[in-house]
Amino acid sequence: MYPAAEKRFIKINRFTIIFLFLVIIAGGVVRSTGSGMGCPDWPKCFNRIIPPTNITQLPEGYEQQYIDGREKKNQRFANIVEFFGSKETADKIRHDKSILVHEEFNAAKTWTEYINRLVGVVVGFALLFSAIFAFTYSKSKPSIFVWSVLNVIFVVLQAWLGSIVVSTNLMPWIITVHMLLALLIVAVSIYTFYSATTLRNKNILVSSSSSVLKPLAFFSLVLTIIQVVYGTEIREIIDHLNAEGIDRANWINSIGIDYDIHRILGYVILAITVLFFFLVKNRFAKHTLQSTYSGILLLLVVIQMLSGIVLVRFDVPPFAQTTHLVLASLFFGTQFYLLLLMNKLKR
């Protein structure tokens, strides 16, 4: 059904999507274990291709060396932020000495962060090969090629932003942008996969679609993005509470209105997902992709709600934090793919 060149693109694209979620898992583990500063420099780790396993392997005076390097990078980043009109934020980056505080060496945290970077490198090469293989669509479906090339640019930007996350000592708003950019890269990869698979296999789509389903899917996706932003902000508040020495049992009660909004949005998204599931089941045959993925979406939202309950009832255990983040990403990806599957068949 598919020419060899198109099969090759679809395979590498599928591989890329899988590894993008693995990167998100690795990033979640890094966040939940507090390993974000396990490597104080970027792209190397303690200026080594293979990170150290013992403090005796560290160069003498490395602490000040990396602090000075990070300060220079932060000054350059502040200039960029000011150029785009945010002088107050730029001044904070320039003068907030807390972002230059050195973290003591911990081999476990160092290797956790390093493995996260290695998975990211694999994704970078996968996206690069996707862009190369997408050239086969330059005439038949140019948007696949264009978006594949753009995604390489996005992942380079993401890598640079990752270095800024390190140099600013995990500055909160940068982490939020980092997460949203990761979801954008996932969405583009899913879109190119969808476009490539539906180009020749029209059985994936149907000749008509409910006028309710696509707007409902889009509305739910927007709510999920807002939910992710609030979730990232809550995680940043928890990091702050932890740094202040607040007892873990009091974290949830200390978050404030962000937690209330996050929780309400969760219930709204759950209700929409249940409604969407039954509408799809009534509209599409049992074994269609639309029906299958609506079931997966419902399962994901239920597990996600359960992970949220575990976070609240058991004082925010690290494993539940990672689970919650990964499930949110999978839920977003499934939502976006379902939104695309709601398109009508073009004759």
Q: What are the structural domains of the chain?
A: 1-200 (no CATH), 204-347 (1.20.120)
Q: What percent of the chain has pLDDT over 90?
A: 39
Query: Is the pLDDT reported for residue 80 higher than 70?
Result: yes
- The pLDDT of residue 268 is 96
| Banded model confidence at residue 329, pLDDT cuts 50, 70, 90 | very high
Residue of 85 and 234 predicted with greater confidence: 234
pTM: 0.86
**pLDDT tens by residue, 25-37:** 888 888 777 777 7
Q: CB-based burial of residue 186 (10 Å sphere; 0-12 exposed, 13-18 middle, 19+ buried)?
A: buried
Where helices occur in the chain by DSSP H, the ranges are 4-32, 62-83, 87-95, 107-133, 142-167, 172-200, 213-243, 251-255, 257-283, 289-313, 318-341
Q: What is the pLDDT of residue 99?
A: 65
Measured CA to CA, the distance from residue 297 to residue 337 in angstroms comes to 10
Res. 347 pLDDT band, cuts 50 70 90: very low
Better-predicted residue by pLDDT, 2 or 233: 233
Q: What is the pLDDT of residue 328?
A: 92
- 160: confidence class by pLDDT, cuts 50, 70, 90: confident
pLDDT at residue 210, as a whole number: 62
The rounded mean pLDDT for the chain is 85
Spatial separation of the C-alpha atoms in residues 184 and 190, rounded to whole Å: 10
**Distance between CA atoms of residues 286 and 105, nearest Å:** 54
What does the CA dihedral 124, 152, 169, 245 come to, rounded to 10 degrees? Answer: -70
Closest by CA position to 7, among listed 185, 240, 161, 201: 201
pLDDT exceeds 60 at position 308: yes
Tell me the C-alpha distance between 238 and 98, whole Å: 17
Higher pLDDT, 67 or 215: 215
| pLDDT tens, position by position, 220-237 | 999 999 999 998 888 888
- Across 267-291, average pLDDT: 91
What's the rounded mean pLDDT across residues 112-139?
A: 92
